[in-house]
Structure 1
Amino acid sequence: MYKLSNKTTLILNVINNKQIRSLFNPSDGKFRVNNLSRNDSAEYKFEISDGINIKEKRALRLTIQAPVSSVRLASECLSQGEKRVSCSSEGGDSLQYSWTLDGRSLTDTELLSVNTENNSITLKQHVSGAVACSVENNVSQVSKEEEISNCVFINCSSNGTQISQWVFAANNTLCVEQTTPPTTISECSTVADHSLLVCGVRAAVVVFALIGIAVYFAWKNKDYKKAEGSAYRPEREHQDESVVMVEM
């Protein structure tokens, strides 16, 4: 006969292989209790008897714990480039937290501090890798892993707003600086191949127009000198002839 009870509750009572409210296996001493609630948490007496005399008697503490349902990680860069990683869970009772980096325990050269009140750790500036938080109690265990990169300092202006802060290098989207400055041709600024082609055509048109104007004026000047020379010679011949007629 096996009996597990306290002053008000009978959880296990096995008499002639008839079990009440539980399933018990005498070979390994394990039993499963059905329909438990938090109110069943208490100290119980476990008795083994032959139905007349008690052969063994022990005091057991029964604790009802809910399993861990999920785990979440949150990370941020601090003022000097350190990384804070926080771990939170839903559900579960009497939880214990543990941390690993790339599948191993953290060392003093990597770990700056541990805060057990908010379940967070602070990693030193040079530390990066796969950080995992494991949450467990007596009935369950759940782990969550996240890749933590190094922090970089951003000091720039975005849309008129000055930004100076540490951010994770892997997912930085603040102030992505332009690496290639714009090129100026004539009076247009090029930022794409299409604009380059348009500005090149415009510049060529301007050059050819200037060449055409120069050629035109040169031709006009030459034609003017030729016409002037032609008008001067007949007048000379006429004067020469007049002089000859006077001498005669």
Structure 2
Amino acid sequence: MEAVIGLLLMILGVSHGVETYCDGRQDGAQCYGALGGTVVLQLMDSASEIFKYQWLKKTTSILRGGKNRAVINLIADRSSFTPSDGTFRINDLSRTDGGEYTLMIFDSNGSKSEQRTLLLIIQAPVSSVLLVSECLSQGETRVSCSSEGGDSPQYSWTLDGHTLTDAQLLSGNNETNNITLKPDVSGQLVCSVRNHISGISTCGYMFIVCTLSNGMHISQSVSVSSNSQCIEPTSASTTITDTSVDHSLLIFGLRAAVMILFFIGSAVYFVWKKKKYKEAKGSAVPRKREHQENSVLMVEMRSSASEL
């Protein structure tokens, strides 16, 4: 079943995962990779002319090589190193890939000419975000923004496309996930959640102001024009290629493909069944003898012989 789903994903042109890039040529660089995704680390300008280099995680040598030396990669099954541009690409990132790495470069005399460290942090991407609202007794609106799957989420709010201001808030601020809007504040409220490797927003939530009538609390009405999610632009410090797709579209495509395969399989089966039935029916009908008069003549000749 997994093979079939994988084939259908290729047919539909769907791929998953987040790819990040980080320049690690400065000592103490801090890089981020997405859990299950890919990170491209710029370790050096070029390794082609370096006499000897070694890249370690703590005391474990992950990568080593040099001029006129073979490149040895400890995790070659899911990574690759390009000496010409000094980039190291790691796929299928796991939590254990995170940590501090050290690059050491040696000259032709065997002396260490350069050393620098790089900190790689693995984060789970934000997968979904949800708004929940509640009317309070004085006409205020309490709104909560929750996210799933993301490490170290950061929140921000906009109202009708503009950053939410303190003048519109009774409590909370633009960087918290729980806020309370003042009475008579309404509009299209959007919560955005991001971390260093992903960003996502809610879309289409139109909040109508909570009101009071004759001292009785009237529930807030919420008009949802769309339940889709907007992908936010990435931060300047990390370049991200987000290849995720709308899950509803993926599910629809998979179901359609499965139905098409089912109907094709059913048609082939019934054609084969009909052909086998015709062959079986044909073999059950006795074949007619040709030249039946010759057969009768043979019988009559045998009868005459017996009388003699």
Q: TM-score, normalised by structure 2?
A: 0.46
Sequence identity percentage: 53
For 1:107 and 1:116, the matched residues in 2 are separated by 7
Q: Are the aligned partners of 1:135 and 1:141 in contact in 2 as well (CA < 8 Å)?
A: yes
Match of 1:165 in 2: 217
- Counting matched residue pairs gives 164
Match of 2:180 in 1: 122
Query: Which of the residues 43, 52, 57 maps onto 2:100?
Result: 43
Query: Which of the residues 148, 153, 163 maps onto 1:90?
Result: 148
Deviations 1:82-122 (A, max 9, x none): 11111111101111111111122111211221179972111
Query: Which of the residues 38, 46, 55 maps onto 1:4?
Result: 55
Deviations 1:186-223 (A, max 9, x none): xxxxxxxxxxxxxxxxxxxxxxxxxxxxxxxxxxxxxx
Is 1:149 matched up with 2:208? Answer: yes
Match of 2:194 in 1: 136
Query: Which of the residues 124, 132, 148 maps onto 1:74?
Result: 132
Q: Are the aligned partners of 2:156 and 2:175 in contact in 1 as well (CA < 8 Å)?
A: no
Q: Are the aligned partners of 1:70 and 1:142 in contact in 2 as well (CA < 8 Å)?
A: yes
Q: Over aligned residue pairs, what C-alpha RMSD do you find? A: 3.0
For 2:106 and 2:163, the matched residues in 1 are separated by 48
Match of 1:110 in 2: 168
Q: Are the aligned partners of 2:207 and 2:221 in contact in 1 as well (CA < 8 Å)?
A: no
Q: Are the aligned partners of 2:132 and 2:145 in contact in 1 as well (CA < 8 Å)?
A: yes
Give the number of the structure with larger relative contact order, counting CA–CA contacts within 8 Å between residues 6 or more apart. 2
Match of 2:116 in 1: 58
> What amino acid maps onto 1:165 in structure 2?
H
For 1:27 and 1:78, the matched residues in 2 are separated by 63
Q: Which runs of 5+ in 1 are unaligned?
A: 157-163, 172-248
Where in structure 2 are the equivalents of 1:196-211 lying within 5 Å?
A: none
Q: TM-score, normalised by structure 1?
A: 0.56
Match of 1:101 in 2: 159
For residue 81 of structure 1, give the secondary structure of its aligned residue in structure 2.
coil
Query: Which of the residues 28, 32, 35 maps onto 2:89?
Result: 32
For residue 147 of structure 1, give the secondary structure of its aligned residue in structure 2.
strand
For residue 56 of structure 1, give the secondary structure of its aligned residue in structure 2.
strand
For 1:25 and 1:102, the matched residues in 2 are separated by 47
